[in-house]
A and B are shown apart, each in its own frame.
Chain A
Amino acid sequence: MHELAIAEGLVDVVTERLPGTKISEVRLEIGALSGVVADSLRFCFDLATEGTELEGASLQITEPGIQVECRTCGDTFVPDGAGGSGARGAPILLCPCGSADVKVLSGQQLTITSVKVA
């Protein structure tokens, strides 16, 4: 259950970037390969923001799909089992050519994209 630490991390980032600023909305990108479960993060967000400038802010999470480039054949592909946004878990990143030597282009995002100032 590392999502609490993740939620605390995002509070740290926002309060350091915008000290003393009341925040009404936080927007995140959580990729399916990031190792973070969006639902668990939503659960922890209220706990982590309590008593901070983010308390009561809404949390909007986009879950970008997985896209991978094969280092062997050069193809870009969406791996089997990567069911786009909302997909849980991390599918095996095996290229149709048989190679597992791949570079992840999308899916590892763990990013605060923007916040809305109240």
Chain B
Amino acid sequence: MCATCGCTVDFDEPGDFGDPGELGGLELPGHGHDHGHDHGREHPHDDGRTVTLQQKILAKNDNLAQRNRDWLRERGILAINLMSSPGSGKTTLLERTSEDLAGKLALSVIEGDQETDLDADRIRSAGCEVVQINTGAGCHLDAAMVARALRTLDPPAGSAVVIENVGNLVCPALFDLGETARVVLASVTEGTDKPLKYPQMFRSADLVVVTKTDLGPYVNFDAARFGEYVGQVSPRAMTINLSAVTGSGMASWSDWLTSMVSAPAH
């Protein structure tokens, strides 16, 4: 690609403009090919002033996320960004977690869904404070939505807030919400190769939770290989296998959550 005009036409002299990462927004000296624009693409040129910005496109979201993070840290509140495909068992895990941790850890939930309050109703029935966000056409939660939800929820100091993101293994990976940690769920019914097929999401995970292990005998899920795949995309992520139905593995998850609340890092 020509780094001066941005044309995506392959030239005969690749690499003649150096490392694009170093170019910034500066106007470049001549770089080996004709700029008469005879390479099949027209775009207007004017004598306007070029202003170098070098700013993250998601700067606004990232700034809001940082504000959320500071707000949470001041109150010693743990915030988990819980992400997965639709139907991996996020809400079921939270229902069970709420029951298991009742009286041990104050837990509240921000529910993200395109439509309905159905998940919020389930979480409330399980005994948790909850705020529902409906994103409408939106495919992910962003930091502004979470900021509003946190104000409404007003979680107590020293508690844990789980933000159940919109079920989607692609878009939510890009949007920092101000969370303390990211947890990605994958159920055994989704297949062994999920981490390789959605590396962006799994790469961002601090913890990977394999759910519905009670269904393991009925589906072709290779837990050891899944763990290897997680290791390939996110070598520092921990993995916990559990079933919110039988309770198997739930103690590891509860221990992890509890240890995160008391961890001084956040």
A interface SS class: mixed
Q: A64-B20, A85-B1 are in contact. Are A113 and B56 (CB under 8 A)?
A: no
Contact present for A110 and B58 (CB under 8 Å)? yes
Contact present for A112 and B57 (CB under 8 Å)? yes
Contact present for A2 and B174 (CB under 8 Å)? yes
Q: How near does chain A come to B166, taking the closest CB pair, in angstroms?
A: 11
Q: How near does chain B come to A53, taking the closest CB pair, in angstroms?
A: 13
Q: How near does chain B come to A88, taking the closest CB pair, in angstroms?
A: 12
Contact present for B61 and A9 (CB under 8 Å)? yes
Contact present for B233 and A100 (CB under 8 Å)? yes
B232 proximity list for chain A (CB < 8 A) = 92, 94, 100
B196 proximity list for chain A (CB < 8 A) = 92
Tell me which residues from 1 to 57 in chain B have a Cβ below 8 Å from any Cβ of chain A. 1, 3, 5-6, 8, 19-21, 23-26, 43-44, 46, 48-57
Question: Is residue A111 contacting chain B, with contact meaning CB distance below 8 A?
Answer: yes
Q: How near does chain B come to A96, taking the closest CB pair, in angstroms?
A: 14
Contact present for B48 and A5 (CB under 8 Å)? no
B171 proximity list for chain A (CB < 8 A) = 1-2, 5
Contact present for B21 and A64 (CB under 8 Å)? yes
Tell me which residues from 63 to 118 in chain A have a Cβ below 8 Å from any Cβ of chain B. 63-65, 85-86, 90, 92-94, 99-101, 106, 109-118
Contact present for A111 and B55 (CB under 8 Å)? yes
Among B136-144, B244-252, B254-262, the stretch in contact with A: B136-144
Contact present for A114 and B138 (CB under 8 Å)? no
**Cα-based distance from A27 to B52 in the complex (angstroms):** 9
B140 partner, pick from A2, A14, A90, A94, beta carbons under 8 A: A2
Residue of B nearest to A118 (CB): B48
Q: A1-B139, A100-B231 are in contact. Are A9 and B57 (CB under 8 A)?
A: yes
B24 proximity list for chain A (CB < 8 A) = 113-114
Q: A35-B174, A63-B1, A101-B236 are in contact. Are A13 and B8 (CB under 8 A)?
A: no
Q: A24-B44, A62-B1, A90-B200 are in contact. Are A13 and B55 (CB under 8 A)?
A: yes
Contact present for A114 and B51 (CB under 8 Å)? yes
**Cα-based distance from A93 to B19 in the complex (angstroms):** 20
Contact present for A110 and B57 (CB under 8 Å)? yes
Contact present for A106 and B21 (CB under 8 Å)? yes
Question: Is residue B173 contacting chain A, with contact meaning CB distance below 8 A?
Answer: yes
Q: How near does chain B come to A72, taking the closest CB pair, in angstroms?
A: 9
Contact present for B20 and A2 (CB under 8 Å)? no
Residue of A nearest to B26 (CB): A114
Residue of B nearest to A29 (CB): B20
B59 proximity list for chain A (CB < 8 A) = 9, 13
Q: A62-B20, A109-B21, A114-B25 are in contact. Are A24 and B46 (CB under 8 A)?
A: yes
Q: Write out, one digit per residue, whether chain A residues 7-50 have a CB within 8 A of any chain B CB (1) or not (0).
A: 00110111011100000110111000111100000000000000
Q: Which residues of B contact A (CB under 8 A)?
A: 1, 3, 5-6, 8, 19-21, 23-26, 43-44, 46, 48-61, 138-140, 142, 170-171, 173-175, 196, 199-200, 203, 231-233, 235-236
Extra inter-chain contacts (9) besides given A12-B60, A35-B170, A114-B26, CB under 8 Å: A24-B46, A25-B48, A62-B6, A63-B1, A113-B24, A114-B52, A115-B53, A116-B46, A116-B50
In the assembled complex, 14 residue pairs joining A and B whose CB atoms fall closer than 8 Å, in A order, are: A2-B171, A2-B175, A5-B175, A6-B57, A14-B53, A16-B60, A18-B51, A34-B174, A61-B8, A64-B20, A86-B8, A112-B55, A117-B50, A117-B51
State the 7 A-B residue pairs at the shortest beta-carbon distance, nearest first: A114-B25, A60-B6, A2-B171, A113-B25, A64-B20, A116-B48, A101-B235
